[in-house]
């Protein structure tokens, strides 16, 4: 029996749909794939991303071709970067016959960081995300999550001994018209908490970090406002959103604050 070629097989995805309902996003989600990220100190950093790829599906089509998303990923194997996301999105639009393409890359980014006193060095991992959308115009967002230590000003004020502190997570998302390094965002945010977080601390470092936090108490509102003040001074940034979550140590809930700002 002769083998049927792909061209001869029915293409159900391209068959018409009579319900007249377009779909905002359809595609593939959570594909683990190697990417390259620009590194301020080492030029390039190789990491592994969780990739989401979607297109807008016109109302007249029954479905999209899921295999084409993976084919596009394979085409850019080893060279998927923030700089060529527009090219990848344009290919998604063309090959999937869509007016809009969307791509998200979530990945760990590693920075070598020294302890404050001993200068012991260790790698810190930061969760980052690239978000790209291409319709008539491109829209790119860089997102970085930075852990901090926060110490409660109220607890310090009312307690006879010490004060409760907690791990905090600050998430910053930006739109920029010029290069903003991931390392620069991390450094900016780490200066806005009660104390930074490290991967490696000796005893002398623990003492220094604990005392730094005690002398620099911060509410979740303080952290968001402080980060906002710093981001407003970065000329390349056109828009940003700041979120801070304090994972409370004496409550069974988190404290949370967020702020969005766009420059005119």
Mean pLDDT by 10 residues, the chain (264 residues): 54 65 92 92 92 89 85 87 90 93 97 96 96 95 97 91 91 95 96 96 96 94 97 96 94 94 84
Domains located in the chain, CATH noted = 14-114 (3.10.270.10), 136-264 (3.10.270.10)
Q: Rounded to whole angstroms, how far apart are CA atoms 235 and 140?
A: 17
Token pair of 213, please? 């936090």
- Measure CA 182 to chain center: 10
pLDDT of residue 65: 84
Q: Where are the alpha helices (DSSP H) in 96-248?
A: 153-158, 182-190, 203-214, 220-232
pLDDT of residue 2: 45
pLDDT of residue 200: 95
Global pTM value: 0.88
Q: How far are the Cα atoms of 33, 117, 201 from residue 207, in angstroms, in the given order?
A: 41, 9, 9
pLDDT of residue 5: 54
3-state secondary structure at position 13: helix
């Amino acid at each position: 029996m002769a083998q049927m070629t792909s061209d001869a097989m029915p293409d159900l995805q391209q068959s018409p749909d009579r319900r007249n309902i377009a779909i905002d996003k359809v595609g593939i989600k959570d594909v683990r794939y190697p990417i390259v990220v620009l590194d301020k100190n080492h030029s390039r950093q190789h990491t592994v991303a969780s990739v989401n790829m979607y297109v807008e599906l016109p109302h007249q089509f029954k479905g999209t071709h899921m295999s084409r998303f993976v084919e596009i990923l394979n085409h850019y194997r080893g060279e998927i970067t923030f700089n060529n996301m527009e090219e990848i999105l344009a290919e998604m639009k063309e090959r999937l016959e869509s007016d809009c393409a969307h791509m998200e890359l979530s990945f760990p980014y590693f920075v070598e960081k020294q302890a404050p006193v001993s200068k012991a060095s260790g790698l810190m991992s930061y969760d980052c995300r690239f978000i790209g959308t291409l319709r008539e115009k491109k829209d790119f967002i860089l997102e970085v999550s930075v852990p901090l230590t926060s110490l409660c000003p109220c607890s310090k004020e009312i307690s006879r001994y010490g004060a409760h502190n907690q791990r905090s997570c600050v998430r910053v998302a930006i739109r920029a018209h010029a290069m903003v390094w991931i390392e620069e965002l991390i450094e900016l945010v780490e200066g806005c908490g009660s104390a930074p977080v490290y991967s490696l601390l000796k005893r002398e470092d623990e003492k220094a970090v604990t005392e730094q936090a005690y002398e620099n108490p911060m509410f979740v509102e303080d952290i968001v406002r402080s980060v906002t003040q710093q981001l407003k001074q970065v000329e390349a940034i056109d828009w940003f959103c700041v979120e801070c979550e304090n994972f409370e140590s004496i409550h069974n809930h988190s404290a949370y604050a967020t702020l969005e700002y766009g420059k005119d």
